[in-house]
């Protein structure tokens, strides 16, 4: 089964994604940036259709994950969208300096999570 990685320190977000895609994809949760990077490294990237990444996480933040993806030329293999509660436009503009797909600001609904993941996955299927 194809996988979606959801990197967020809130298990609620991971569970929303699991519920939204329960019959279509395996949703793999990562609760900080270090977990996310390890999850990316240990999975066959042909099976990963997208990453939904929170910028503000403990230990290792989302920007460190973005740097990892950039340094390893993985954005084409792991289409990435951002989820954030940060309203600071500088933070959001900084995220768009990376080749991400989109940004979803918290709070959100299950439908908005589903739409951003579907948008991210559609980019994956075009490559």
Is residue 50 over pLDDT 90?
yes
Classify the C-alpha dihedral 31-91-41-80 as positive or negative.
positive
* Alpha helix positions (H), the chain: 11-20, 33-42, 62-71, 89-95, 110-126
The whole domain housing 65 covers 3-126
Confidence of residue 73 (pLDDT cuts 50, 70, 90): very high
CATH number at residue 80: 3.40.50.2300
Domain count, the chain: 1
**Each residue's pLDDT tens digit, 89-106:** 899 999 999 999 999 988
pTM of the model: 0.92
């Amino acid at each position: 089964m194809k996988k979606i990685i959801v990197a967020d320190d809130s298990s609620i977000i991971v569970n929303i994604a699991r519920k939204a895609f329960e019959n279509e994809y395996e949703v793999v949760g990562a609760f900080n940036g270090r977990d996310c990077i390890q999850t990316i490294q240990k999975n066959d990237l042909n099976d990963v259709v997208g990453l939904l990444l929170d910028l503000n996480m403990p230990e290792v933040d989302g920007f460190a994950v973005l740097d990892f993806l950039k340094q390893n030329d993985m954005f084409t293999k792991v289409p990435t969208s951002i989820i954030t509660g940060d309203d600071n436009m500088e933070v959001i503009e900084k995220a768009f300096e990376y080749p991400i797909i989109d940004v979803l600001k918290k709070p959100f609904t299950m439908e908005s999570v589903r739409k951003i993941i579907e948008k991210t996955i559609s980019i994956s299927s075009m490559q």
